[in-house]
Amino acid sequence: MDQALISELKRQGVITIGLETLYNWGRSNSIWPLGFGLACCAIEMIAASMARFDLARFGAEVFRPSPRQADLMIVAGTVTKKMAPQVVRLYNQMPEPKYVIAMGACAISGGPFKQGYNVLKGVDRFLPVDVHIPGCPPRPEALIHALMTLQRIISGQKLTGPDRPRHLRTDAPAEYPVPTHGAHDLEPARNSSLWRPLKITREA
């Protein structure tokens, strides 16, 4: 449509909008997180949904107790090796489109407990993380910033073409294999199709 027609329609009280923009606008402003607290960061997550920080301003205050009703998993706290299979299973139970925020140092990399024998060194070994929030624990403002970052990611997504989001592609997996407890570690210890370890590049 040419701009003259759009402005003519707008003058007559008709708003024209692309389906993609409308779809993304609706999705990005009603992200329902899973009420899923693991450790210390969960308290800051709760604080973010309370009156002072008021996550409801961003349409994300509806914490759902069931993964079947949630769009966003906020991994708030230390994921231990005992808990990791359950975290992946919860993610698999969420309907598409779904997103993951890794909240806090523990969820990103194991954080202060990284040297512990029972601590998963980053939830991105098993789940596709969209936004990482550093901090131990991150302030509620940081969680709000992460949510706004996620909203920006969602509203920039193309519904067609090669870079369309995961839930619209047929080649992307809808769920990820749940690790089991092996003799010494989780089996497998990481999802190697997903996890991209940080490469250290040195200049010559």
- Residues making contact with other proteins (CB under 8 A): 35-40, 42-44, 46-47, 50-52, 65, 67, 77-78, 80, 82-83, 86, 90, 112-113, 115-119, 136-137, 139
Let me know: does 79 contact 40? Beta carbons within 8 Å: no
CA distance 47 to 36: 14
Of the pair 146, 154, the CB lying nearest other proteins is at 146
Question: What is the nearest approach in angstroms of other proteins to the Cβ of residue 99?
Answer: 18
We find the least distance from the C-beta atom of residue 33 to other proteins, in angstroms, to be 12
| CA 13 centroid distance within chain | 37
DSSP labels for 35-72? --B-SHHHHHHHHHHSTTT-GGGGT----BSSGGG-SE
Indicate the residue among 39 and 147 with the shorter CB distance to other proteins: 39
Q: Please say which residue, 11 or 52, places its beta carbon nearer to other proteins.
A: 52
- Nearer to other proteins by Cβ, of 77 and 154: the residue is 77
**Minimum CB–partner distance for residue 34 and other proteins (Å):** 8
Would you call 73 helix, strand, or coil by DSSP? strand
- Residue 63: CB minimum distance to other proteins, A: 8
Helix (H) or strand (E) holding 24: helix 19-28
